[in-house]
Structure formats: structure tokens, C-alpha cells
Chain A
Amino acid sequence: MSTKKMLRNEAPLLEVKNLETAFDIEGTDYNAVDNVSFKVKPRQIVGIVGESGCGKSVMSLSIMKLLPKGIGKVKSGEIIFDGINLEKMSESQINKIRGKDVSMIFQEPMTSLNPVFTIGYQLQEVLFNHMKISKQEARQKAIALLKSVGISRPEKLVDEYPHQLSGGMRQRVMIAIAIACQPKLLIADEPTTALDVTVQAQILELLKEIQAVNDMSVILITHDLGVVAEMCDEVIVMYAGKIVERADVDTLFHNPKHPYTTLLLGAIPKMDEQEERLSSIKGIVPSLTNMPKVGCRFAHRCPKAMPECFTVTPVLGDVEQDHEVACLLYETSKPREGVK
């Protein structure tokens, strides 16, 4: 508890303000991330959950400035990392930060490693880019890094290729690359989705350990609420490009306010209870091209929808201290006069 209180008063490491990321589809811009704001404090693990297409990955790519060129772009908003606005930086300035202060691990450990270079080469590449280091030192450091992510024979593995490793090992290598320069922020985009449960348990354990040792903040993007409950301090629930609820992990799981969060929690089969039917959400997430222009984006699937849900767009407001919800069921989500 005491650490959590400490976190509250600290200046945020990352602050995302009114971020809008749009994709160009046949000449029209569609917002995949729509007016999203949140903060990540030092040493905090923030989970971002949502179903596929909710914009969680696009948001992380926006922070890293890795959006596909010419198709996706950040339309407005600010991304302030450690006091610097990343949005205003040039490509070469970003390159100095990316991989050093902010790094990322991806879902597919197979496709995110280059198959024609050795593990050692790919690890050293990061080191050479961000540090003045000799070849000998880099190799030693690479071996040490592999060891720190729990790889048993690092001296041999540095000279092997990605295809010689299993999925879990590859993800460990990815983590080693990501933490090579001791970043302040690690963005993990579905880091365990492609892995088996027993391997997932290993990787989650490793991530927790590394987070504690390196004192870094982590943004954990996942669709698995179990992983969130296990790992995170704070949770952000996204639906169709918007944040619908944000709270600390205990509040979110035990006192969810948004109907979407409640339904999502009811939809997972529980291990320790026996229920005949799972709660399910009728219909599907609207596609990017026919997103409702006004009103709540969840309204047409929501069992508690009221007529005004289709005409008034809810805003994210504090229902309790440190518990934000965007739903018209709550007074705090009603837009103030004059604000659209």
C-alpha cells in the first residue's frame, strides 16, 4: 500500500494528452485512437486491455512513433516522456530515445527477430547504437544480458540464430534486447499471447523481476484479464479507440463501473467457480469505417443503454478518487456546457 501512495505524488514518466491517431482509408481519415489521455508514473505497471481492434496496439505504436508511414499518423495530442514532447521531435532525435529510454517487446517473437542474423548480433546492434562500447565489451554485455533473462547457456546462444530457439526462448531474447540499455519505460504489446501457459508464467515472472530490478515503468498491452490482474498496478480499459474506464487493479476487478468492463469480466470462464452460462456481449465491435459519430461507441451493444447514449458522447470523469469512467450512467461523464 505504501508504495502505491508514494506513486500517486510523483511526477509522471509518460503523459499522453488527447492523443488522436488516424488511419487513411481511401482518402478519408478514421480515428483508431480517439482523444486518449493517461499517465504512467515511475515504476508503475499500467495494463491496457481491450478486444482486438480497440486501438491498444495503435496507441503503443503512436508512442513509439512506429506507425506505418503514409497510412497512419498522429493527428493531434501530445506525448510527453520524461519532460520532452515526443511529438515535436525529429526522426533522428527519436532514434536516440527509442531503444534506449523507451523500448518495446512485441507479440510475435518469431517475426520480430531477424532470421539471418545471430542472436548476439541483434543484441549488440542496440548496444552499438546507444553506447560507446568496444566489440569485446558488447559481446560480454550481450552474454550477461542473456543470462539475466534466464537463458541457461548464453555463451553458446549468442552465436545461434532465432530459428534454433523455442517461442519462450525467443521472447526472452526479445526482452534482453529491450532492456539492454536499461530503459525507463518498457512497452510490452501482448508479450505472452503466442506462448503456452507454463511458458507464459515463466515470462511474466521474468518481466516482474526485471521491472523491480531495473526500476522501470511498464505498459502492458493485453487482452487477457488474468494477466492484468496478476501483473498491473493500474488498468486502462479501451473500447473502439477510447478509454472507457481507468482505475487501480483492485478497484477495477472488484468495483467495475462501466457496463463494458462488467460484461468483459463476466465473459471469462472462472477457474474457481462453476457457472452454467457466461455473460456475453451481443454483437461485435463496430469497424473503424462505421464508428458512430456521436454518442457512446458501446451504446448499441450495451444492455443499459439509454436514448441519450446515442446522442451524447460521454467524457472520462472521476467517479471516485482515481477511478475514471466514461459512461452516461454517471453524472461525471456528462459533457460540460460548451465542451463538445
Chain B
Amino acid sequence: MSTTSVHKGKEKTSTDSENLLEIKNLKTYYPVKGGFFKRTVGNVKAVDNVSFEIKKGETLGLVGESGCGKSTAGRTILRLLRPTDGKIIFDGKDITKVSGKSLREIRKDMQMVFQDPYASLNPMQMVGDIIAEPIYNFSKKSKAELKNEVMDLLDKVGLPPDAYYKYAHEFSGGQRQRIGIARSLALRPKLIIADEPVSALDVSVQSQVLNLLKDLQKEFDLTFLFIAHDLSVVKHMSDRIGVMYLGNMVEVADKGLLYAEPLHPYTQALISAIPSPDPRIKKERIILKGDVPSPINPPSGCPFHPRCPMAMEECSKTKPVLKEVKPSHRVACHLY
């Protein structure tokens, strides 16, 4: 357990060779246009100051409720979205501002698995072509070589060889997600960002896909950023977990620590809210009041203070920063 710490404020510019990905104070705002001339009248602060790092071979889970900015964070890291501010350091290179050819080169090393296995596959393409496309884009391989490689990938994700000639609609949700995973593996990337890869699937199929992802991680030495809203799924998959609320990272810790001893009141509420699949366990529930506020107009101070059962006066005034309160346990809360 190494204790890499990137303190917000006084950033250590140590490019730890162990870290595959480092995110520093990342901000992604979506402009809100309005009025006759469609001028920018405000910003949706989808990601507002997020910092974390992922070590090689590790899985970082990103959890939070809908609208907390976890998907936007994932897409910004892949540079599918332009960050408003902050730094993305991938494999020792600052990729915040790269564009054109060099961006294309980097994309080879980071791939994405999408949430909706129905919308993320082209219905007009054969599955073989869908999986071959990334390889075709980046290398000059003969048709036979390409086909061999695709067959190999199909086998790796547990699909029969005849899937090559089929179309996406002929598969079930779980199988389609396998196709999506095969496609993301095609270029042997270093980092895979999985954005809610199992939330559209049934429990029995979900467990198949989770097991597959774990196996592939071992086999290909992959690093995962695993985005999900289901805390038990995230716990199963991740080594470390980051909890987001309204565009902010509120807590980052090793999995064991986070579940055994959640420090942030939001994390505590989130964990207590999960219904346990055992009727004998009667949990003490923390029921939060109200809904997540709009990210266009986030509350002053700590974004969580209007719903926080432990809010103090200070919470509405100053925004807490993410700081290390225990070894490998960072939290952004005035209580600590």
C-alpha cells in the first residue's frame, strides 16, 4: 500500500511512475445558452474540481447518484469532452490540451465500455466488423490477420465464433455488452473506462459480465476506471473508490476503509441506503431529505450542506477541500 497523495491546493508535481492516470482539479462545465442571441447565461458545473489518481493495474470505482458528474468525468478523461480547467496526466503525459494526431495516438491506449449495449453498437455492421474497426483504424493488417484477431477476441469474451457474421440485434443485452468489451480490448489499451457497464443488465447476466471483466483485467493487465451508481457492484469490482456528489469528489479511500468506516456524511447515507439482500439484517438508516440540487446553481459552501444531517454554520460558507485525514483516506468535509 503506497500512500500517494495529491493534496489539493499545494499540488505535488511528482509524476509518480506508478500512476497511470492522474487527474488534478478537473473541471468540466457545460454552457447554458439563452436569450435571443444564444449567449452563455450560465454553466452547468458537471464536474467541479475533481482530483484523483489511478495506479497501474488498479480499479478505481467512481460512485454517485445520477447527475453527480461521474460520466462527464469519464468522458473528459477520454477527451471526448473538453475540460474547462485542470489537468489530465495519462501515462506521464499531460493530455489536457492535446488535439489532432497526438490525441488520436493516445486514444489507442484508453478505451471505453458504454452503459447501453443497445445504443452503442452499430445495427448495420456485422459484429466482426464492429470489433475489427479499432484495429483497422490504427494498423495495417491484412484481412486474414484481422479476422484471426477478432476471432481471438470473441473467444476471450466468451462469444461463439459464429458471432462474427451476426448483427447486434441478434444478441441479448449481456452478449452485446460482451461485444462492447471485445471492441474496447481490440487495441490492447492500458486504461478502460467502463461507464455503468452492467446497469442495463439483469442480476444473473450482470454477474457474468462482472466476472468476465475481472478475468480480463488479470489476463491483459488492465487498469479500470469503473463508473457505477450501484455501491455493491462498485465494491465488488474496485480496489479504491471515489464518491462524487454534485460534481465534487467528497471522499476517496481504499475499498475496505470506505465501507468499514465511511467518513463523509454523504457516503454514510449512501451506504446505509442500500437495501441489504438479507431480511435478518436490520440496518440503521440515514434517510436524506430532499433531492440533489441543480448543478447550474449549486449551493454555496459545501455542495452537500442543505441535505447534510450534520451541517454546521461553516458548511454553508466555505467549500471544504479534499484532504487526507487517515492513511489512504481522503475526505472533503469540515467535520475533519
Contacts and interface: CB of A to CB of B under 8 A. Distances in A.
A162 B292 CA distance: 17
Nearest to A168: B291
A253 B236 contact: no
B276 A230 contact: yes
A4 B135 CA distance: 62
A61 to B, nearest CB: 20
A67 interface: no
B232 interface: yes
B207 A229 contact: no
A204 B288 contact: no
Interface in A235-287: 249-250, 253-254, 263-272, 275-282, 284-285
B202 A226 contact: no
A77 to B, nearest CB: 27
B233 interface: yes
B33 interface: no
B123 interface: no
Contact of B277 (A166, A200, A268): A268
A245 to B, nearest CB: 15
Given A198-B269, A205-B285, A224 B236 contact: no
Contacts of A166: 291-292
A190 to B, nearest CB: 13
Contacts of B120: none
B275 A224 contact: yes
A239 to B, nearest CB: 10
B279 A253 contact: yes
A236 to B, nearest CB: 15
Interface stretch (B47-55, B208-216, B219-227): B208-216
Contact of B210 (A169, A197, A254, A278): A278
B185 to A, nearest CB: 20
A270 B292 CA distance: 26
- Most A Cβ at <10 Å: residue of B205, B273, B277: B277
A228 B275 CA distance: 8
A51 B11 CA distance: 48
Contacts of A271: 231-232, 235, 259, 271, 274, 276
Interface string A190-225: 000000111111101100000000000000000111
* Chain B interface mostly: helix
Interface string B178-215: 00000000000000000000000011111110110010
Nearest to A51: B202
Given A225-B277, A227-B275, A268 B232 contact: yes
A270 B274 CA distance: 11
A304 B175 CA distance: 24
B168 interface: no
A301 to B, nearest CB: 9
Given A269-B232, A277-B211, A201 B278 contact: no
A197 B279 contact: no
Given A197-B231, A201-B287, A278-B210, A270 B273 contact: no
Interface residues of A, number: 47
B203 A197 contact: no
Contacts of B281: 272
A140 interface: no
A119 B7 CA distance: 48
Nearest to B288: A198
B203 A268 contact: yes
A277 B277 contact: no
Interface residues of B, number: 40
A197 B211 contact: no
Contacts of A202: 287-288
Nearest to A279: B207
B270 A197 contact: yes
Contact of A229 (B66, B208, B278): B278
B270 A198 contact: yes
Contacts of A114: none
A310 B206 CA distance: 26
Contact of A264 (B203, B208, B288): B203
B203 A196 contact: no
Nearest to A225: B277
Interface in B151-185: 172, 174-175
A76 interface: no
A297 to B, nearest CB: 14
Nearest to A301: B204
A112 interface: no
Contacts of B202: 51-52, 223, 285
A198 B236 contact: no
A198 to B, nearest CB: 5
B229 interface: yes
A251 B179 CA distance: 39
A282 B208 CA distance: 8
Contact of A269 (B205, B208, B233, B269): B233
A223 B278 contact: no
Given A229-B275, A269-B236, A271-B259, A196 B65 contact: yes
Contacts of B206: 267
Contacts of A281: 204, 207-208
Contact of B273 (A197, A224, A264, A280): A197
Given A198-B269, A200-B273, A264-B203, A278 B174 contact: no
15 contacts: A51-B202, A226-B275, A227-B275, A229-B275, A230-B279, A266-B207, A267-B204, A267-B206, A269-B232, A270-B232, A271-B271, A275-B236, A276-B214, A278-B236, A282-B208
Interface of B: 65-66, 172, 174-175, 202-208, 210-211, 214, 229, 231-233, 235-236, 259, 269-281, 285, 287-288, 291-292
Given A229-B277, A229-B278, A284-B205, 5 more contacts: A197-B65, A226-B275, A230-B275, A267-B206, A269-B232
